[in-house]
Structure 1
Amino acid sequence: MSQAALPSTIAAAVDHELVIKKSRFLAHLAPVSSVAEADAVVARVRKGSWDARHHCVALVVGPHAEQQRSTDDGEPSGTAGVPMLEVLRHRAVTDVVAVVTRYFGGVLLGAGGLVRAYSSAVSETLDRARVVRRQVLTEVMLEVPHADAGRLDNVLREWAAQHGAVLGGTEYGAAARFTLLVPPDAVARLADDVAAATAGALVPRPGASRVVDVPA
C-alpha cells in the first residue's frame, strides 16, 4: 500500500441547515464503506424528505478516494453535485456521502448562487463533523511471559505514544500476547527497542499492513 497520506473520513453522521433567500438547504453527511451503502443513505434521505424538490448528492468511497460520483437532481447542470464533490475532494475526505435536500423558497438564486449554496452546505456540515485520520499501519504481535506482562505493557504503551503506533488489546493464554499497529518504517525500531528492553529475549512478529482509523 502507498505510504502517501491517505484521505480522512468522518466518525458519525452529521446534519446542518442553511436558509438562503427563503430556500432551505438541509445537508446530511454520513460515513459509508461502499457505493451501495451510500445509495441506501440517499434513499433514506429521499424517503424522509419526500416533499422536497431536490436531493443533490456527492460521494467519495475507497481508501484512496477511488470512486467518486455526484448528481444535480434537477438543479441546473454543474450547480450542485459537482460543487459538493469539490468540497469533499478539497477537504481530502473519503468514505463519505453528502446529500443536500433543497426546499425551494420562491426566489431564484442563479447559477452562482446555487454553487455557493450547495458548496457552503457541505463545507459547513463538514466543519461540524468529527474527522478521523487514516494511516497504513503494520500489525505486530509480541508474546510475553506473564511475569513480565505488566512491565512490558508500560514499555509498549510509552513506545506507541512516541512512535505514532497504536497498542491494541492483550490476549492471555500460555503467555500474554500484545498487538500493536505500527507505522511500517518503525517496525525495525520496535524490534530493536524490544530487544534492548528484554536483553534480546523477546522478538516481535510483524504481520500484514492495513488501513486503520486513528484518533485525530
Structure 2
Amino acid sequence: MSEANFSALLKGAQGEYEEKKSRFLSQSFCVRREEEVAEILAGLRKQHYDARHVCYAYILHGNPPVEKSSDDGEPAKTAGLPMLDLLRAASLRNTLITVVRYFGGTKLGTGGLVRAYTAAAKEALHASIAAEVFPAVQLSLNLDYGLYGKVARLAEDCCGTVLSLQFLAEVSLTLLFRQADSARFLTALTELSGGSVAPAKTETLFAVETDGKLCALSL
C-alpha cells in the first residue's frame, strides 16, 4: 500500500459555465472501478442525447493510479486533459469529472475551449466535498473489564476512533488509528498491560477524517 497521502471525494457536485452561448454542464463523481465510470458516462449520454460533446477525465487509485481522459470530438487536449490536470493538481483519486457541452453556434478556438472546460470542471470540483486519504491501521482487541477504561483513555490520547464495542465475557473493541498513531498506541498498550494484551487482528487500510473521527475508506 502506498504511503503517499491523496484525496478522494466524499460527495460529488454539479457546476455550469457559459461561453458565447455554449453551455458546459459539469459534474463530479466518486468512483472505484472503470465499470462505474462506463455506467455513468452511458447514463449521461442517454440523458444529454442532444449535446454535442460529453468529455471526461478520471483517476482511480492504484499503483500506479489509472488515469484516463476523453475530448469526445473536441480538438485534441482541449477538454479531457485540462480536466485531468485539475484532478492531478488536487491529488484526487477515485474521482470522475464530466463536462457536457451544448454548442452555442460560435467556435471558441483551442484556447477558449481549454478555458471553458477548465472553468466548468472547477465549478463542480469546488462544490464537491473531498477529504485527505491516509494510511491507517485497524486493531481488534479483547480485554478484561478491569483494563477497558485505561485502554479506552489510551486510545483517545493516541487519536484513535472506536469503530465497534461489545461487552461480553470480555470487552471486544475495534479501533482505527492513523498509521503513526497506531505504533504509539501499541507501544503504550504493551507498557500498560505488561505485555498481556495484544491485538487479535490487525488490518492496514486507508481512512479519512470527518468531524474529528476516522472512517475506513473502501478503495
TM-score for both structures, normalised by structure 1 = 0.87
Does structure 1 residue 95 correspond to structure 2 residue 94?
yes
Hey, what does 1:184 align to over in structure 2? 179
- Structure with greater strand share of residues: 2
Give, in angstroms, the shift of residue 124 of structure 1. 2.4
Q: Which moved more, 1:107-116 or 1:197-206?
A: 197-206
Counterpart contact for 2:17–2:120, Cα < 8 Å: yes
Q: Does 1:211 align with 2:210?
A: no
- Rounded Cα–Cα distance in structure 1 between residues aligned with 2:64 and 2:87: 10
* Structure 2 contact 155–161 (Cα < 8 Å) conserved: no
CA contact (8 A) 1:135 1:214 kept: no
Cα 1:16/1:126, change in 2 over 3 Å: same
SS at match of 1:36: helix
Instruction: Name the stretch that deviates more: 25-34 or 9-18.
Output: 9-18
Question: Does the C-alpha gap of structure 1 residues 58 and 135 become closer, same or farther in structure 2, counting only changes over 3 Å?
Answer: same
Pairwise CA distance, 1:91? 1.0
Q: Which runs of structure 2 are paired with 1:150-165 in the superposition (5 Å)?
A: 150-160=149-159, 165=160
Give the CA deviation at 1:206.
Answer: 5.7
Letter in 1 for 2:93: T
How many corresponding residue pairs?
A: 211
**1:43-122 superposed matches below 5 A:** 43-63=42-62, 66-122=65-121
- Superposed displacement of residue 101, structure 1: 0.3
Deviation, 1:53, is 0.8
CA contact under 8 A between 2:55 and 2:79: conserved in structure 1?
yes
- Post-superposition CA distance 1:31-66 (Å, at most 9, x none): 001111011111111111111111001111114561
Matched, 1:3 2:32: no
* Equivalent AA in structure 2 for residue 180 of structure 1: L
Q: What is the alpha-carbon distance in structure 1 between the residues aligned to residue 63 and residue 22 of structure 2?
A: 35
* Alignment match of 2:169 (pick from 153, 169, 174): 174
Looking at structure 2, the residues matched to 212 and 25 of structure 1 have their Cα atoms a distance apart, in angstroms, of 34
Unmatched segments (≥5 aa) in structure 2: 212-219
Q: Report the 3-state secondary structure (helix = DSSP H, G, I; strand = E; otherwise coil) of the residue aligned with 1:76.
A: coil
TM-score normalised according to structure 2 size: 0.86
Question: Following the alignment from structure 1 to structure 2, what is the Cα–Cα distance between the partners of residues 178 and 206?
Answer: 11
- C-alpha distance in structure 2 between counterparts of 1:166 and 1:135, whole Å: 15
In structure 2, the residue matched to 1:125 is 124
User: Quick check: 199-208 or 112-121, which moved more?
Assistant: 199-208
Name the % identity: 30
CA distance in 2, matches of 1:184, 1:91: 23
**Native 8 Å contact 2:141 2:172 kept in 1:** yes
Give the superposition deviation at 1:74: 1.2
Corresponding residue of 1:16: 15
Q: State the secondary structure of the residue aligned to 1:214.
A: strand
| Structure 1 residue ranges (4+ consecutive) displaced by more than 3 angstroms after TM superposition | 146-152, 183-188, 195-206
